[in-house]
A = this chain, B = another copy of it.
Amino acid sequence: MLRFRKYLLAILLLIIQISFCFLFGFHARYVYAPVSSVKNLTFSAVSIVEYYYPMFMDIHVMMFVGFGFLMTFLYRYSYSAIAFNFVLCAFTFEWALLMRGYFFNWDTNGQQFAIDIKSLITSDYVAASILISMGAVLGKVNPFQLILMAFCEVPVQVVNEWIGRTFFCANDAGESIFVHLFGAYFGLAVMFVLFRSDMLDSPHQKSRYTSDIFSMIGTIFLFCFWPSFNAANTAGPERLRAVINTCVSICSSVLGTFIASSLVRRGKLDIVHVQSATLAGGVAVGTVAASNIGLHGALIIGTLAGFVSTLGFYSVLPKLEVIRIHDTCGVHNLHGIPGLMSGIAGIIVASIPEKSGFQDHLTVLCLTGGLQRSSNIQVAYQAAAVGLTLIVAIAGGLFTGVLLRLPLFSQESQYFDDKVHWHIPKPEHTISLKM
């Protein structure tokens, strides 16, 4: 039995790839959409691939480089952080292509779904959600458990977003509700179930000078490409606003973070805050990124987000352990709270129809009589999307956590240690160089 357990990952991945092969073969079709399918364009002719491709590449880099390196800060867990992020994201990308296809693009007549350039972007969005959850459990689960978590989380994320977009017609341009908020609370709920008190006193849960700088690679690529993340879904003047608002908000959250960090550290700074809280502005502006909130609106949201997120790292993070939540990467502060802020901003903006422009969005997608909606009703639907996301994420996470806790799958007793999973270059070789 133990003998068999160590091949669980290989067996699971093999079964998955074989199944996916049949599903792709039966149901997925390339569709080169005419450009008229893009809403809000003021120009008559352009190619659809080129319209989305540069932003897709940016987001792809955010997923693999950004999230991957962001998580390398643990000094003995850098191999695992970057490599598990890699395999998890690659798996999720495929799985999300399928799930989004079945739920969002299923063509009942043809018994198939279309794959176009936008499908690749939405798959990366789903992947973001799963990687956020991974941040909460980093170092405390094995790669088999990660793949299993993603396997459960993807359909839940897709269904939740499908309800939110199709029935509630919630405005969420930068996916702060459906991706960030969802991913954070799903991961925290998983962690709540998997919690064991010996996680708290692991001697390996800390960083090195070098690993902190590797982590900054992730931070800064996430920072730079965040405007693409928030704008890729949009077009025309909305895309312009999404880009500008995100740039201003995320720059402001850098400043907000430095303000808060130097206050709580009494004039010094903390690299942990710089690594994470600086990005909170990108999350917090997401839902309303394409709305006409003004650059001052984006600035306020971003500054607050950076400030609050830093305070979260300083004071909330340690307290979560009391309620049995150990949040390795602080996703509660970087994605949870700012995601909630973004949801609230979305509710506020929805109450001002000339700012939110929500009626432009209702017409096409909304199955629940969107055209007749007043702004008050839209406020309620925005709130419903936030509430439902919280409930679905926590419930889904608890269920998934129970599954991952089954003795068959459960983690070795060593946390935050590459040695459990990798052949590591022997230290004695490297001492000799002392570099």
Contact = CB atoms under 8 A, between A and B. Distances in A.
Contacts of A86: 220, 223, 254, 274, 278
A240 to B, nearest CB: 5
Contacts of A58: 57
Given A47-B41, A53-B54, A269-B421, A255 B90 contact: yes
A42 B262 CA distance: 52
A82 B425 contact: no
Interface string A105-133: 00000000001110110000000000000
B65 A221 contact: yes
A7 B268 CA distance: 9
A154 interface: no
A209 B32 CA distance: 44
Contacts of A35: 43
A194 to B, nearest CB: 21
A327 B138 CA distance: 35
Given A251-B90, A262-B7, A25 B212 contact: no
A300 interface: yes
A209 B435 contact: yes
A48 B41 CA distance: 11
Contacts of A220: 64-65, 68, 82, 86
23 contacts: A5-B267, A7-B267, A13-B259, A28-B295, A49-B236, A49-B243, A50-B54, A61-B221, A64-B223, A75-B425, A82-B220, A83-B216, A86-B278, A90-B255, A94-B252, A94-B299, A115-B244, A265-B423, A268-B421, A268-B423, A271-B423, A430-B435, A431-B434
A381 interface: no
Nearest to A9: B262
A81 B32 CA distance: 41
A94 to B, nearest CB: 6
A83 B269 contact: yes
Nearest to A35: B43
Interface in A1-46: 5-7, 9-10, 13-14, 16-17, 20-22, 24-25, 28, 30, 32, 34-35, 41-46
B425 A72 contact: no
A274 B83 contact: yes
